[in-house]
Structure 1
Amino acid sequence: MLVAFEAGGLLRAFILFLLYPLVCLVGEEQGINVMVFVSFAGIKRKKFMVGSSVLPKYFLEDVGDEGFDAVMKAKRKIAVSDMPRIMIECFLKDYLRVDAVEGRELKTVCGYFVGLMEGKNANGVILNELRVGSHVIGIGSFNKSTDDQLFSYCKEIYWVSKAEKWNWKSLPREKYPKPLIFHDGRLAFRPTLVATLIMFMWLPLGVLVFLIRFICGVFLPLNISAIVSASTGLSTTVSRAKRLSWIASNKNDKKESGVLYVCNHRTLLDPIFVAIALMKPLAAVTYSVSRFSEVTSPIKVVRLTRDHERDRKVMEQQLSQGDLVVCPEGTTCREPYLLRFSPLFAEMTGDIVPVAVDLQVSMFYGTTASGCKCLDSIFNLLNPFVIYSVKILEKLPSSQTCIAGGKSRTEVANHVQNQIAKALGFECTTLTRKDKYMILAGNDGII
């Protein structure tokens, strides 16, 4: 279902859902063939990124702690599966450190998958490794077809039953061989039969809810639209630092420059919810946003160009007109990590206020690296329930700024990143927007 939805779209996923009774009736092997055909037929091979950008998250959630410990003790690991190799290879090699993967190959015509799998032929290189292995141990699952040719080289074979799997504990995040920082895809839930049925039942009502939220957000004042949105399941929780006397002083004192609110980036709507939390008009600067999102935004949105001097002038101009919000990560991150903060904002003003933003969605992710970005806000507002958490932190002391404190812009950016990470319980990284898009989409993320 994940491949059908993320690579093929909603219609393909719905067709696969309708064919579920047939998949159950024809047996496991033929059922896999049916699912592969519906999910892959007509998909361009070069653009298929689901195996590396979407599936690893769900596979990791299925890994049992006990089974993981047993597998990781081996010096060399070979994985055998009836699933298409393109779906599992990236996860097995990157996250379980498997040395070789034996899976089914998919047939292609003119660069497109036709939805059919090649026959089960053991890889010659893998067979040679098994022949020379001094002590080969096999771990398999009951009620699953196995490759007799490969397992015949095993001196010991351990079979795991479904009951044993149910008793396994999920692998804790801290034991992941590689941190799961980036993942793509629209679905924010595991698409089981019941969960998928609920999604399709929700969509007609979800379209109506989306229209209400969208129209209210665009045409009504922020304070009124926030109330209407909350009544539809889109709520905002706001917490503030204990000492916020600077807000009152800013209202009374006429300054040449506005306040710069610096927040982490969870979705495209972050600046809007910061404005709702503060109940004041803000402008936002962003590196890349679709024209649709720019036109329909209830607050002013100004594009940056990645040209340092030009972007500096744009931000200075906006600050001279009022308060400004910026997301210096330059792209969104779904997991509890913060990407490297671009230090440009630190040069603009000494009035810097960190803002920690977090988000919980129930059905869809409102971000994508490889999909259509103009749909980001739509998917976000399609969720049955959304909880936005906004924490207004204490204004940076003058000693921690470039202008009054003599700090370098990198020091200021790192300090703000650490403050926000501490408030959210997240972990700081040095990864950038380019790193994310190279991993998830195979490009540098410039649109």
Structure 2
Amino acid sequence: MVTSNPFPTVEKCPSVGREKHTVVADMDGTLLIGRSSFPYFALVAFEVSGVLRLLFLLLASPLAGLLYYFVSESAGIQVLIFATFVGMKVSDIESVARAVLPKFYSSDLHPESWRLFTSCGKRCVLTANPRIMVEAFLKDLLGVDMVLGTEIGTYKGRATGFVCKPGVLVGKNKADALKKAFGETKPDVGLGDRHTDIPFMAMCKEGYLVPPNPETKAVAIEKLPKPVIFHDGRLVQKPTPLMALLIILWTPIGFPLACLRIAAGSLLPMSIVYYAFWALGVRVT
């Protein structure tokens, strides 16, 4: 949470006449309403490697939280990156980022940030999230021109679980990445939501904070520049830590139950199939 307000809030920023302006925005808590990236790491973990990887990520999340709040934001994110990606094929990560994540990202866009973001002619997103996770959504669906994110380490086509230099893009690393990308040119508008965004926002001609507000309603999907196509995926809701735990607990019950339902439909006489389905929790209409 931002402890001081050197910048006005995004609601006070006019969006008219910015067609030639460049905007640089953070992602979690800024362009997106949600401030936590855990659900998106959990989606990658579950879709690529299944319930065991999701369990590994869930077990690592308390350590990530402790490091995030009491040591450094960078250390906490590194734990999530390691638990999610270590050993994964880079091609599998890219597939999930392109086919699954856009549906969930697009349902969480902050209306005020989106208003300002789309009013600018050139758009850049500067995020601590791994670039491989967010780039497809940002460029293909939102028309973002440049994505600056954390780069994950790879070896022979697989993720090592570590990050490349300069590390996770938070605080000074964000400002350095912006300086490297833009040189001496100052972006017109910087958007952030926490104190670690202030260094890069200070490099912009104007800076605006996006205050947390649980009552904020996301931008309607119909207002996005391109339609969202949900190609694949086994989850219909974002897996919060609680939902991830429920998925893990349900798996030992759900698989045998599914086998019983299949067996009942295939082997039992039709005269008693209806009652067997009813007993197994299948609704027949």
Q: TM-score, normalised by structure 2?
A: 0.74
Matches within 5 A, 1:30-45: 30-45=75-90
Q: How does 1:234-253 map to 2 (within 5 A)?
A: 234-237=282-285
SS of residue paired to 2:147: strand
> Deviation of residue 220 (structure 1)?
2.4
**Matching of residue 180 in structure 1 with residue 246 in structure 2:** no
- In structure 1, what residue type is equivalent to 2:76? G
**Does 1:67 find its partner at 2:122?**
no
Q: Which amino acid is 2:60 matched to?
A: L
Choose between structure 1 and 2 for higher RCO, CA contacts under 8 A separated by at least 6 residues: 2
Query: What do residues 88-146 of structure 1 show as CA deviations (whole Å, max 9, x unaligned)?
Result: 11111122211101101111112211011121452677314x7065xx11111125x33
Higher gyration radius (CA):
1
Unaligned runs of 5+ in 1: 238-447
- Structure number with the higher strand fraction is 1
**Counterpart for residue 142 of structure 1:** 194
Q: Does the 8 A contact of 1:85 with 1:105 survive in 2?
A: yes
Which residue number in structure 2 is paired with residue 126 of structure 1? 181
Q: Compare the two structures and name the one with the higher helix fraction.
A: 2
Matched, 1:191 2:239: yes
Residues 21/125 of structure 1: CA separation in 2 closer, same or farther (3 Å cut): closer
Overall identity of the aligned pairs, in %: 35
Distance 1:105 1:216, change over 3 A: same
- 1:66: Cα distance to partner? 2.9
SS at match of 1:131: coil
CA distance in 2, matches of 1:178, 1:221: 50
Q: In structure 1, the residue corresponding to 2:65 is in which secondary structure?
A: helix
Kept in 2, the 8 Å contact 1:41–1:113? The answer is yes
Contact 1:66/1:169 (8 A) holds in 2: no
Answer whether contact 2:192 2:198 (CA < 8 A) is retained: no
The aligned counterpart of 2:101 is 55
Distance 1:45 1:9 in 2: 16
CA distance in 1, matches of 2:56, 2:44: 13
Answer whether contact 1:100 1:126 (CA < 8 A) is retained: no
How far off is 1:70 after superposition? 2.0
Relative to the length of structure 1, the TM-score reads 0.48
* Structure 2 residue runs without a partner (length 5+): 1-41, 167-172
**In 2, Cα distance between equivalents of 1:40 and 1:100:** 23
Is 1:168 the counterpart of 2:216? The answer is yes
Task: Give the partner amino acid of 2:147.
Answer: V
Question: Matched residue of 1:101: which SS?
Answer: strand
Q: CA shift at 1:9, angstroms?
A: 2.2
Alpha-carbon spacing, 1:232–1:65, altered in 2? closer, same or farther (3 Å): farther
Q: For the aligned residues, what is the CA RMSD?
A: 2.2
AA partner of residue 160 (structure 1): V
The question of whether the paired residues in 1 share the 8 Å contact of 2:190 and 2:206 is answered with yes
Q: 1:179–1:219: structure 2 CA closer, same or farther, 3 Å change rule?
A: same
When the two structures are aligned, how many residues end up with a matched partner? Answer: 230
Retained in 1: the 8 A contact 2:191–2:201?
A: no
Cα drift, residue 221 of structure 1: 4.4
